[in-house]
């Protein structure tokens, strides 16, 4: 087996407690997660926020990995300090260097089990395609969104987010824990197959590519003036037809979708995105070929 | 119409945002809630916590109405200070005196729309019975629980909690808002019928009376060591048979219910109760006659 070390992060957001609980139980019961021989370094992303049951203390840790923030010595937000610390410990040049990162998240939206990839790095997409071929997970390709930057996984040579939902913040749910466990195992199994030289890559894979986000209608003070229409709640991954109800005003009036091309909504009514002015994101389905050189790039990284 | 003033509180817990949103919209659109001619004073219970999206700042406001806390000049917890303030403004001897309080809450558990009554005050039960006869809402009678004291409604001559769920903390949901609106209207319609001398009381009513609470199994550090079994999740109000799965250990082992008498569980996996060591509460169903003197007591209060 290679010298590959996979950083497995949970609790990047301190109110997403199912991943941290899984890691905690795993430390006591090693059989819980079959690593398939892959070296795994588990870590809690934001232990201070987790202890308080809050998403973050000063700012979102999963937007704190922007290079300008990391390079600035004057920014003292606790999450930026923590981002630097995680990199100095576990970054590719850290004291315990990891080449690949898996970052565990949960959501109040009905995303099921989803892989999230940031940008179009060949190694990320090769790994996601390999996992999709094994477990059928959808891939949300978050790309070209200038408003959302500084994600943790971007600072490692290869990295994926696993998003599981729906689950309220701060609540343990057995099904969510089990879905998280299965997704982690699928990632490690895929990496193990690469390390042992026997990966079964698909010829092509499906991504849902980020088009943009919609916000709730807001009042003059910037507060939500309508809410997600009940017929849309929980309908992540189902194409949005022109005229479909989007938002419901208090007086019963309905705000409808006026766009074309039936985009596919994701992260519908994620609690933490209200402050980011995102009521849902829209995606389009793309079938992508998987070039051999992407497979080679992942092989090279795993064989480090 | 009498001089009755009903205090309508939302946001007693700052992360339960659907009630506050309803009050906010109501202030802009008076038709939203038909008060049936009853005088209503709307107020946000914990505006500072609501602004931060947190349940509370220093301690739970809805446990801060204990007489010993209210009488102590030395306790400076912001919620205790706020409790005193609410009483000095809107208490029965306050500057804007209210005789009856309705306190709006939401829960991550599948409680549907529930009335919660604290103790067995005749006026509370008469009002709850009247609402149950109109809208069929279940009544959870929280009584004889020495560990949980100091609820807001207890400091008014008459008061009910309306609990609506399931909904994550910090998330607007159209259905939850509508359920809250309907329950508030039913309360006000019932009070209006009393004020106009035409209430239709039932001969008897049904309560689910608190028996006790069960906690998750905990580890040596006091952290949850198992989670609510997925087959129990969302099954509030459904009798618990001996041998039914309660909790699931990480290794897949099942902790089963060993009690008798098929108690009825409520507040299964409410996120905020983990810190109170409550994974669910158990109740028994009671059919209670509604004595005429209870009706008279409510009539007297409403005719103030």
Query: Which has the closest alpha carbon to A18: A58, A48, A50?
Result: A50
pLDDT of residue A147: 84
- The pLDDT of residue B2 is 67
Prior bond of B166 cis (ω within 30°): yes
Question: Of B166, B175, B271, which has the smallest distance from its Cβ to A170's Cβ?
Answer: B271
| Chain B residue with the nearest C-alpha to that of A53 | B54
Size of interface A-B (CB pairs under 8 A): 98
The structure tokens listed for B163 are 């609990």
B31 contacts on A by Cβ (under 8 Å): 251
pLDDT score of A2:
67
The fraction of chain A above a pLDDT of 70, given in percent, is 99
Inter-chain residue contact B173 with A21, CB threshold 8 Å: no
Closest Cα to residue B181, out of B31, B41, B47? B31
Taking the alpha carbons of B126, B131, B136, B138 in that order, is the dihedral positive or negative?
Answer: negative
> Given the DSSP bridges, would you call strands B227-228 and B245-248 parallel, antiparallel or unpaired?
antiparallel
Give A115's Cβ-side CA count (13 Å radius). Answer: 30
Q: Among B168, B165, B192, which residue's Cα sits nearest to residue B106?
A: B165
With an 8 Å Cβ cutoff, are A169 and B172 in contact? no
- B108-138 tens-digit pLDDT: 999 999 999 999 999 999 999 999 999 999 9
Q: Which CATH number is B5-207+288-302 given?
A: 3.40.630.10
Give pLDDT tens digits for B212-244: 999 999 999 999 999 999 999 999 999 999 999
What are the chain A neighbours of B22 within 8 Å (beta carbons)?
A: 250
Alpha carbon of A160 to those of A49, A117, A282: distances in Å? 22, 6, 20
Asked if B176 contacts B106 with a C-beta cutoff of 8 angstroms, the reply is: yes
Contact check, Cβ <8 Å, B228/A174? yes
Of A166, A174, A227, the CB nearest to B229: A174
Is the Cβ pair A24, B274 closer than 8 Å?
Answer: no
Q: Is B224 in contact with A24 (Cβ distance < 8 A)?
A: no
Which of A32, A168, A248 is nearest residue B174 as measured by Cβ atoms?
Answer: A248
Instruction: Determine the Cα–Cα distance for residues B293 and B126; give it in Å rounded to an integer.
Output: 10
What distance in Å separates residue B249's CA from the closest CA in chain A? 9
Strand order, beta sheet including A227-228: A227-228, A245-248, A254-256
Inter-chain residue contact B271 with A224, CB threshold 8 Å:
no
Q: What pLDDT, on a 0 to 100 scale, did the predictor assign at position A175?
A: 97
How large is the average pLDDT for residues B145-154? 92
Rounded CA gap, B100 and B205, in Å? 21
pLDDT number for residue B148: 86
**Domain chopping of chain B, boundaries:** 5-207+288-302
Name which of B31, B174, B271 is nearest A171 (Cβ-Cβ). B271
- Whether residue B248 is predicted with pLDDT greater than 80 in this model: the reply is yes
Nearest residue of chain A to residue B24 (CA atoms): A225
Instruction: Note the Cα B1 to chain centre separation in Å.
Output: 27
Give A293→chain B minimum CA distance, Å. 40
Residue ranges in chain A modelled with pLDDT below 70: 1-2
CB contact under 8 A, B230 and A174: yes
A151, A119 contact by CB (below 8 A): no
Q: Residue A224: which of B166, B172, B229 has the nearest Cβ?
A: B172
Interface contact flag, B21 A274, Cβ < 8 Å:
no
Nearest to A273 by CA among A77, A78, A55, A118: A55
Which of B19, B227, B268 to mutate to probe the A interface, most A CBs <10 Å? B227
Query: How many angstroms separate the CA of residue B255 from the nearest CA in chain A?
Result: 13
Closest CA to A70 of A93, A39, A52: A93
């Amino acid at each position: 087996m290679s010298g590959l070390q996979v950083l497995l992060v949970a609790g990047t957001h301190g109110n997403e407690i199912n991943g941290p609980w899984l890691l905690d139980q795993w430390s006591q019961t090693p059989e819980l997660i079959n690593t398939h021989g892959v070296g795994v370094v588990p870590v809690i992303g934001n232990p201070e926020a987790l202890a308080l049951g809050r998403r973050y203390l000063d700012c979102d840790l999963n937007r704190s990995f922007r290079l300008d923030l990391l390079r600035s010595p004057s920014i003292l937000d606790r999450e930026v300090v923590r981002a630097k610390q995680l990199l100095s410990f576990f970054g590719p040049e850290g004291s315990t260097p990891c080449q690949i990162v898996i970052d565990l998240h949960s959501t109040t939206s009905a995303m099921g089990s989803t892989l999230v990839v940031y940008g179009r790095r060949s190694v990320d997409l090769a790994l996601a395609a390999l996992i999709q071929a094994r477990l059928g997970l959808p891939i949300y390709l978050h790309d070209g969104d200038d408003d959302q930057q500084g994600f943790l996984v971007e600072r490692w040579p290869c990295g994926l987010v696993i998003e599981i939902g729906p689950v309220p913040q701060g609540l343990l749910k057995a099904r969510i824990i089990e879905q998280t466990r299965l997704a982690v195992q699928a990632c490690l199994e895929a990496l193990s197959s690469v390390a042992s030289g026997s990966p079964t890559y698909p010829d092509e894979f499906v991504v849902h590519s980020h088009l943009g986000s919609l916000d709730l209608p807001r009042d003059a003070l910037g507060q939500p003036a309508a809410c997600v229409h009940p017929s849309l709640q929980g309908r992540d991954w189902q194409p949005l037809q022109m005229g479909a109800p989007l938002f419901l005003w208090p007086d019963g009036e309905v705000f409808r979708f006026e766009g074309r091309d039936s985009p596919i909504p994701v992260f519908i009514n994620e609690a933490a995105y209200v402050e980011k002015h995102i009521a849902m994101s829209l995606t389009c389905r793309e079938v992508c070929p998987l070039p051999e050189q992407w497979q080679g790039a992942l092989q090279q990284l795993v064989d480090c």
